[in-house]
Amino acid sequence: MEQKTIRVSRKKLFWIVIILIIIGLWWAYQEPRYQILPAMMSGGYGVSDIVSPSTSAPKSPIMENLGAIYPDYYRQNPDITDTRQFLKTSFSAEIKTRDVKDMVRDVRGIIRDVEGRIDNAQESEKYSYVSFVVPKSRFDAFRDEIENLTHERLITVNESSENLLGQKQSIEEQMQNATSTLADLQKQKIALATRHNQTLASLNAQLVALQNQVPYPTEQAFAIQQNIDSENKSYSSQNQNLANSINQYKALITGIEKQDTQFANNIETVNGYISVNWVTYWQVTKIFSPIHPSIILIILAIILWKVLGRAGVVPKIELV
């Protein structure tokens, strides 16, 4: 049987190849991509629960000026001479797999094994994510386990650290200002009591001296008694105001101590999320192949055509 020959114009073949390449590239970049990035993956012990002096107790004239006393909680530009480090670490990873549910189950198990906490999770057959918090002391072991879940080409890991020195300096400055003001208020309260006692002692002495006079100077005695009553009333009011302010600053210091504890807890944890995306065999081939799979298919098709052409199975192509 005589082998058939297909005559193809070189110009037509050129344009056919160009069109096929364009279609192949378009098809390659239209593959589905599954990836969920949660809008906010926060967890662990935050430091956002700032105690506001204006809400910790009723306002007094002293407390109304706290805005001028205390710096902003977060310093954008910490003191350059302070070389301490309070690193907050964040972690994220994207894993590609053919079995999303099994991979997510493994991720959950690793978080549980390092005594971590899952804050948010979403699972389906094609894509899933888990947001978590793990202790910094167990983070290295956690990261190694996650990276060993699959081949290195099927996982993308991102780790970042930020020095929260500005927050620490602000907390320390708040504490310094609060304790200094509290000590000053306590001194004022002691001084007020001392002055009050001295004033009362002087007025009472004058009253006693009048009692020995004959005739008894009633009007002078009455005036001194009015002064005593006025002094007691003034002292009671000022003493109460100082006591209220002292209690407010004690509550403020307790709140700052809470902030400092939350800050320390935040530093000692690692927040992050892991997304798990389903991939096709074609995508897996693209990941591991040194060249694009479509090129491999074209080369194989050409070789197969030539082999079959020599065997007379397919028509022979002749360029004209």
Which candidate, 63, 4, 27, 52, places its Cα nearest to that of 293? 27
What is the residue-level pLDDT of the chain in tens, covering all 320 positions?
A: 455 666 656 666 667 667 767 776 665 555 544 444 444 343 333 333 333 333 333 344 344 444 444 444 455 577 788 899 999 999 999 999 999 999 999 999 999 999 999 999 999 989 999 999 999 999 999 999 999 999 999 999 999 999 999 999 999 999 999 999 999 999 999 999 999 999 999 999 999 888 888 888 889 999 999 999 999 999 999 999 999 999 999 999 999 999 999 999 999 999 999 999 999 887 787 777 766 666 666 677 767 766 666 666 656 666 56
d(CA 131, CA 112): 13
Residue appearing with tokens 């057959």: 125
N-to-C CA span, the chain: 24
d(CA 257, CA 185): 20
d(CA 117, CA 42): 12
Please compute Rg for the chain using Cα positions: 40
Q: Can you tell me whether residue 145 is helix, strand or coil? A: helix
Q: Is the peptide bond before 32 cis (omega within 30 degrees of 0)?
A: no
Instruction: Evaluate if pTM is beyond 0.75.
Output: no
Question: Beta strands of 78-231 (E only): which ranges?
Answer: 87-97, 117-122, 127-135, 155-163
d(CA 231, CA 244): 20
d(CA 12, CA 46): 66
Buried b (16+ CB within 10 A) or exposed e, 231-248: beeebeebeebbebbbeb
